[in-house]
Amino acid sequence: MTSSHPRRFALVGCGAISELYYAPALVEVSKIIPLEMVALYDPSPDRTASLLRIFPNAKSVSNIEDLIATSPDLAVVASPAKFHSSQAIDLLSVGVHVLCEKPMASSVSEAESMIIAARRANCVLAIGLFRRFFPALQTIKDIIDKGTLGPVRHFHFEEGGLFNWPAASASFFQKNNSQGGVLLDLGVHLLDLICWWLGEPKSMLYEDDMMGNLEANCRLILAYENGITGDIRMSRDTSCSNTYTIEFERGRIAWKVGESNQLKLYLNDLPFDFHSQLCKDNLPASNYNQSFVRQILNFVSASMGLESVLVPGEEGIRSLKLIQQCYTHRTLMAMPWLTDLEIQGCSKLCAGES
C-alpha cells in the first residue's frame, strides 16, 4: 500500500479504547504506511494530554468544528455511543472517511442517517467490530461457508463476567448516556458475528434483568429457517464460560473469547481434539492489538480505493437492528428472590409502562 502523502488522521474521543487500542494500532500502522495524527478531541483535557504524549504533533481541539479545520483525511470516532451519529455525520459531510467505534449508534435511525451521509459524500464509513479481523473467527466463517463439517445444527455462546473495563466515565451504566447495557455493549460484537456467519434469524426470544436502568444480564434464544437453533447468555456481574460453541453435523468448534488466533476442533469420529494456532497473513495475531492494526489497515486501504471495507455501515447496522428488536420485545428474566409486587413493577418497566 503506497500513498503520495501521509494520510492525515483525527481521533475523536480519547478514552480507554483509544489509549489502549486505537493509539497503539495507529502507531504500528504508521510503520507500514505514512500517517500523520493532526487532531485529538475529547472534552477532558486530561484525556487528550494522555494521548498527546503518543502524538506530540497533534493539535488538541475543543469541538468538531476545530477538528475539521485541521483538514483530516480520516477520523476514528471513539466517543460514547450517543455522540457517534452526529460526530460521524459532521465529518462525513465534509469528505472525511470515518471509522466509528461500536456500537455504531444509539439507534437504528441514527445509524441509517450515518449510512446516508457516507453515500452522499462518497466516503468510507467503517464500523469498529474488530473481532471480524481475528484469524480464528475468519476461519469459523470459512468452515461454515464451505460446509467443511457439514451444516450447523446448534450454537451456544456465553460471554461476560465482573465488569472491569477501565472506563474513563460512568456512561456504561447511565441510561441518559447509553441506550442499553450488556446487550448493547457485548452483544453488538456477538450478534454481528452471528449475522456474519449465519445471517439473520427467523425468530428470537429475549429476556433480561432491566429494572428501570440498564440490564446487567440477558439471555437470547434464536431460530433459523433452516433449522439451526442457538442460545446466548451475557453478563456484567456473573462469571461465564466465555466460550462460543458451534455444533455441526460432523463435529463442533469451541472458541474462547479473547483468543484471536486459536480454535478447538472436535470431530465426531475421532477420540481427540485439535487445538489450532491460526494466522492468515504476515502480521502476528497473538492479541487484540494486531486485530486493530488489521482493521485500520483495511480502513485506510478502503479510503484509497484499494480494497473493500470489511465492516461497512451497511453491515454494522445489522446487529443494531437485532438489538433494537430484543429491547422492543424484552421480557423479565426469572429472579425468584423478588416479591410478586416487585415482579409486577419490573414487568411493567420491561413493557415500557410507567
For cell 481541539, the residue is 61
Domains of the chain: 7-131+290-309 (3.40.50.720), 135-283+318-350 (3.30.360.10)
Would you give per-residue pLDDT tens digits along the chain (354 residues)?
Answer: 555 678 999 999 999 999 999 999 999 999 999 999 999 999 999 999 999 999 999 999 999 999 999 999 999 999 999 999 999 999 999 999 999 999 999 999 999 999 999 999 999 999 999 999 998 999 999 999 999 999 999 999 999 988 655 555 555 554 555 578 999 999 999 999 999 999 999 999 999 988 767 899 999 999 999 999 999 999 998 889 999 999 999 999 999 998 888 889 998 877 666 665 665 555 544 567 889 999 999 999 999 999 999 999 999 999 999 999 999 999 988 876 666 666 666 666 656 554
Q: Spell out a b/e string for 178-215, using b for 16 or more CB atoms within 10 Å of the CB, else e.
A: bbbbbbbbbbbbbbbbbbbbbeebeebebbbbbbeebb
**Phi (first) and psi of residue 33, to 5 degrees:** -135, 150
Give the angle subtended at the CA of 11 by the CAs of 9 and 14, to the nearest 5°: 155
Q: Spell out a b/e string for 251-279, using b for 16 or more CB atoms within 10 Å of the CB, else e.
A: bbbbbebebbbbbbbbeeeeeeeeeeebe
**Is 99 within 8 Å of 75 (Cβ atoms)?**
yes
Sheet with 35-41: strands ordered across? 59-61, 35-41, 7-12, 74-77, 97-101, 125-128
What residues contact residue 151 under an 8 Å CB cut-off, 6+ apart?
A: 226, 228, 248, 249
Name the β-bridge partners of 304. Answer: none
**Is 9 within 8 Å of 35 (Cβ atoms)?**
yes
Give the angle subtended at the CA of 197 by the CAs of 194 and 199, to the nearest 5°: 70
For cell 449510512, the residue is 115
What residues contact residue 121 under an 8 Å CB cut-off, 6+ apart?
A: 92, 93, 94, 95
**Is 2 within 8 Å of 28 (Cβ atoms)?**
no
